[in-house]
Amino acid sequence: MEIGFYPGCSLNGTSLEYAQSTLALAKTFGITPVEITGWSCCGATAAHNLNHELAVALPARVLALAEKQGLTELLVPCAACYNRLSVTQHALNTNEALRKNISQTLQMPLSGKLRILNVMQVIEKYIADKIPAKVVKPFTRKVACYYGCLLVRPHDVLQFDRLEDPQSMDRLMAQAGATPLDWGYKTECCGAGFSVSRTDVVAKLSGKIVKDALDRGAEAIIVACPMCQSNLDMRRPHIDRYLKMKTTIPVMYITQAIGLAVGLSRKELGLEKLFVKMIDD
């Protein structure tokens, strides 16, 4: 089975392991992601601060290219990309004048019928019911499933999961053998793009996330966002200084965790790229 695939900038750079584990998991379950030909940056969370038309045109170009390629569904693993593409398509579908203007700027038609899916939606739709039969080494850890800001907000546009207490990642991790925990920071901000300019802010916000996960007894934090993973993992020295304690809880992509459960190797899943290493049981 084929499905459209938009890696975005992060999965081709700082989050190669997310792309690696996503593609490996897809292959295991007979899914062939078809990358959009000629894709470009979606503008992430920065473009809309500079120019509204640019912020719409960048993701709209990606959508137009996907439609031109004949794709009907599009897997977008990066939470920021998923958010920008979804919000843009909603804006174009609810504002005919804007759609015509952007379409003219791009010199490409936009039907607005493309189905944009995050990684949990694709797993739930095409993989979830097959996971139990594929599990060879259950991921028997207590996990804190961290959704972050961009997967569930704005809720009226994305309409993905519950706003304050989402459950999709929890359900999928349970199928992989984990014990998802009830905790208080599922959708709190990690500091996002302040990772470079205000590392102190990231240390504080991400530190509270890590601390609550540890207080609840979590043995791993599961994510589906490159920025969240980077802030919680790469910025751990800053987090530890803020918390005044040494923390060793790993931060893994959901594709890595499920991949381990179904027998994929650490190398196939890019686990060696984690700053805070996952220690085998």
Residue ranges and CATH numbers for the domains of the chain are: 2-119 (1.20.1050.140), 133-273 (3.40.50.11810)
Cα distances (angstroms) measured from residue 224 to each of 2, 11, 20, 69, 171: 21, 12, 13, 26, 14
38 burial via Cβ count (<10 Å: 0-12, 13-18, 19+): exposed
Report the C-alpha gap between 167 and 192 in whole angstroms.
22
- CA distances (Å), origin 203, targets 79, 198, 200, 245, 275: 21, 9, 5, 13, 15
Supply 220's token pair: 């791993």
CA-CA distance, 2 to 50, in Å (whole number)? 36
Judge residue 22's burial from the number of C-beta atoms within 10 Å of its C-beta, 0-12 exposed, 13-18 middle, 19 or more buried.
buried
Structure tokens, 248? 């060793």
In degrees rounded to 5, what are phi and psi of residue 252? -120, 150
Q: Taking the chain (281 residues) in consecutive chunks of 10 residues, what is each chunk's mean pLDDT?
A: 96 94 98 98 76 91 98 97 96 96 96 97 97 96 97 93 95 97 96 86 97 98 97 97 98 98 97 91 54
Q: What is the pTM of this model?
A: 0.95
User: What pLDDT does 11 receive?
Assistant: 94
Any residues with CB less than 8 A from the CB of 268 and at least 6 apart, and which? 20, 21, 24, 259
- 93 and 116 in contact (C-beta within 8 Å)? no
**Inter-residue contact 228 to 253 (CB < 8 Å):** no
